[in-house]
Chain A
Amino acid sequence: MTRTLMEVQGIRKKFGGITAVDGVSFEVREGEILGIIGPNGCGKSTLFNCILGQLPPTEGRVMLDGDDVTGLRPSAMNRRGVSRTFQLLQVFPQLSVRENLVLAGQEHKGTMFTRLFGPRDAGLTPDANQMIDFFRLGHLAEEKAGGLSYGQQKLLDAAMAFMAGPRMVLLDEPAGGVNLTMLGHLEERLRAMNTERGATFVVIEHNMDFVMRLCTRVVVLAEGKKIAEGTPAEVRANQAVIDAYLGH
């Protein structure tokens, strides 16, 4: 049986009188691609932010490899091998594509002090080049990230999340705003990342076809609560899901 990498236990997040996430629990198994779907405003991104320490949960726990990592800072979570992308593009526009990738990996090399006296690229240029090739961004390696098209920036954003060789990556709407050609490319690269490198994903996405094709399991949220969990086929057939989300 596949090992459990992360356990999310009863996460609740309140903003004043509003409960954005209401006692959501699920587990992430090593090597799987888990989808999280739900209508707009159902708490998906808030849930991500609670898991990754961007927001402190009001209640609940996040266990990583059996350790309680609830409330750890995002940088500490990242150094424990949990990486993420954001709903809105988050690259560093003034840095080149290669520099973005080196930055994404450098904090995993030695300590802050040894990095200062180490090589300028923290010894990451070969890894960055490999990632550039993997995401087929070779012709853009020296370009400033801010000058790339939206789809290319999405690819870079995803590549950055993989740069430090994470055990698990949380992707927040990776397909959002990406044209069909680029989407196919992104999907194919993510799948390759999963099969060739054994990367585990949790994917928030609105594009149902994308989720159903890519994910091995799906968790469905509605109004902050988990209403279903299962394989894509099971979820698609679930009446509560049809009523709350798919039926609309």
Chain B
Amino acid sequence: MSRSVILKTFGVLIVGALIFLPLTLNRYGIYIMSLWAIMTIAAMGLNLTLGYAGQVSLAQGAFVGLGAYTVAIMMSAGFGFWLPLLIAIVITFAVGWLLGYPALRVQHHYLAFVTLAFSTLVFLVFRNEEWLTKGIYGIMGFKRPSAFGVSFQKPIEFYYFTLGALVLASAFMAWLVRSPWGRAFVALRENPVRALSLGVDTRRYTLMAFAIGSAMGGFSGALYAPLVEFVDPTPFTLALSLNLLMMVIVGGSGFFFGPFLGAAIGVLLPEWLRFAHGWYLIIYALFVMILLIKTPTGILGIIENMIAARKTRAASAARAAASAGLDKV
């Protein structure tokens, strides 16, 4: 069977599982699958900022929070879902753009600390600005959306809604990373000095990488709020940013499907390990540690390395065969 047939069969199986598997799950299972789709979107945004453009960010969780709070506040004030969704994307895009400015000055762990500080600041706003966010009491009393007369109130309906959003976000991301911008983002990650000398406006691309990645975080948060139907500061601590970072790295930073795999490991795996009762988080932590030691380039990185090694072996065999032929002559 050729590689493309294997890949297509695998793809069809995965899509089939995503469509039909949740029909067999209970309410909690459907919630976890919806959460996976939402976290995949957030991780995809971080993958653009970090994986493609090489800009370290520990603030993606804060953008998920900003998106969630924007939708929760506006929906509680009587707006429907779609305008708050749009506003959430616009706000997180603008804030992401502003957060990109420090990246023009500092890089690597210094940039990580700047974004970490931002993340902490946003959490404090969520917790302390009660007049807007209702502080630790959180915001509730808003419903899940409906569109064109179709309601997404029930868990399974909302799951398909998040799956549709994931398809849209993936299509957008695939288009973006395959466009000339995607190539410029990779250039920014691999060699910003050379990119600059080739006319790449590294400042604008850096800001764009932050803004678009953050807007994806905002989009994800805008879906998270109606999923949980309650928004408080707790889910949006630094831990969420770190978890999203782990998803990107474990899945394969800079690989298109990395966030899908990473989010599966970050969201689904702990649930699958629950049979181990009190040990499940320890097993999960050990698994992630071993995975990262063995595959620092992520799961997709090791697959790519295996394919490259196979190609090299085939090329070496061809060279050896050719030189053996020459010896005979």
Interface of A is mostly: loop
**Within the assembled complex, what's the spacing in Å between the Cα atoms of A163 and B199?**
11
Report yes or no: A95 in contact with B183, Cβ–Cβ below 8 A: yes
Tell yes or no: B196 within 8 A of A by CB. yes
| Interface size grouping (class) on chain A | 20 to 34
Tell yes or no: B2 within 8 A of A by CB. no
**Within the assembled complex, what's the spacing in Å between the Cα atoms of A73 and B203?**
11
Tell yes or no: B184 within 8 A of A by CB. yes
Within 8 A of A (CB), among B199-232: 199-202, 204
Tell yes or no: A210 within 8 A of B by CB. no
**Set of chain A residues within 8 Å of B200, measured between Cβ atoms:** 75, 103, 107
Minimum C-beta distance from A233 to chain B (A)? 33
Report yes or no: B199 in contact with A75, Cβ–Cβ below 8 A: yes
Report yes or no: A52 in contact with B180, Cβ–Cβ below 8 A: no
Report yes or no: B194 in contact with A107, Cβ–Cβ below 8 A: no
Report yes or no: A106 in contact with B186, Cβ–Cβ below 8 A: no
Minimum C-beta distance from B314 to chain A (A)? 14
Report yes or no: A107 in contact with B190, Cβ–Cβ below 8 A: no
Tell yes or no: B154 within 8 A of A by CB. no
Contact partner of A92 among B176, B194, B199, B202, CB < 8 A?
B194
- By a beta-carbon cutoff of 8 Å, the part of chain B in contact with chain A is 176, 178-181, 183-184, 186-187, 190-191, 193-202, 204, 254
Report yes or no: B198 in contact with A86, Cβ–Cβ below 8 A: no
Report yes or no: B191 in contact with A115, Cβ–Cβ below 8 A: no
Given pairs A86-B193, A104-B198, 6 additional interface contacts (CB within 8 A): A75-B196, A75-B198, A83-B198, A103-B200, A115-B179, A116-B179
**Within the assembled complex, what's the spacing in Å between the Cα atoms of A121 and B183?**
9
Scan A72-109; emit 1 where CB is below 8 A from any B CB, else 0.
01110011000110100011111100010011101111
Report yes or no: B201 in contact with A112, Cβ–Cβ below 8 A: yes
Report yes or no: A103 in contact with B198, Cβ–Cβ below 8 A: yes
**Within the assembled complex, what's the spacing in Å between the Cα atoms of A78 and B200?**
9
* Contact A52:B198 (CB < 8 A) given known A120-B179, A120-B180: no
Contact partner of B194 among A79, A86, A112, CB < 8 A?
A86
**Set of chain A residues within 8 Å of B176, measured between Cβ atoms:** 116
Interface of B is mostly: helix
Within 8 A of B (CB), among A189-238: none
Tell yes or no: A137 within 8 A of B by CB. no
Report yes or no: A107 in contact with B179, Cβ–Cβ below 8 A: no
Contact partner of B201 among A91, A107, A121, A122, CB < 8 A?
A107
Report yes or no: A103 in contact with B183, Cβ–Cβ below 8 A: yes
Report yes or no: A83 in contact with B197, Cβ–Cβ below 8 A: yes
**Within the assembled complex, what's the spacing in Å between the Cα atoms of A115 and B179?**
8
**Within the assembled complex, what's the spacing in Å between the Cα atoms of A21 and B145?**
66
Report yes or no: A75 in contact with B180, Cβ–Cβ below 8 A: no
Report yes or no: B194 in contact with A90, Cβ–Cβ below 8 A: yes
Tell yes or no: A118 within 8 A of B by CB. yes
Tell yes or no: A152 within 8 A of B by CB. no
**Within the assembled complex, what's the spacing in Å between the Cα atoms of A104 and B193?**
13
**Within the assembled complex, what's the spacing in Å between the Cα atoms of A73 and B196?**
8
Contact partner of A102 among B183, B193, B197, CB < 8 A?
B183
- Closest B residue by C-beta to A122: B180
**Set of chain A residues within 8 Å of B180, measured between Cβ atoms:** 102, 106, 109, 115-116, 118, 120-122
**Within the assembled complex, what's the spacing in Å between the Cα atoms of A164 and B199?**
9
**Within the assembled complex, what's the spacing in Å between the Cα atoms of A52 and B199?**
12
* Contact A106:B194 (CB < 8 A) given known A75-B199, A75-B201, A115-B179: no
Q: Sorted from nearest, which 8 A-B pairs have the closest CB atoms? A: A107-B199, A78-B199, A90-B194, A74-B196, A115-B180, A106-B180, A92-B190, A74-B197
Tell yes or no: A160 within 8 A of B by CB. yes
Report yes or no: A103 in contact with B184, Cβ–Cβ below 8 A: yes
**Within the assembled complex, what's the spacing in Å between the Cα atoms of A93 and B195?**
13
**Within the assembled complex, what's the spacing in Å between the Cα atoms of A79 and B190?**
21
Report yes or no: B186 in contact with A107, Cβ–Cβ below 8 A: no
- Closest B residue by C-beta to A52: B197
Tell yes or no: A54 within 8 A of B by CB. yes
Report yes or no: B199 in contact with A95, Cβ–Cβ below 8 A: no
Interface centre among B176, B183, B204 (most CB of A within 10 A): B183
Report yes or no: B178 in contact with A160, Cβ–Cβ below 8 A: no
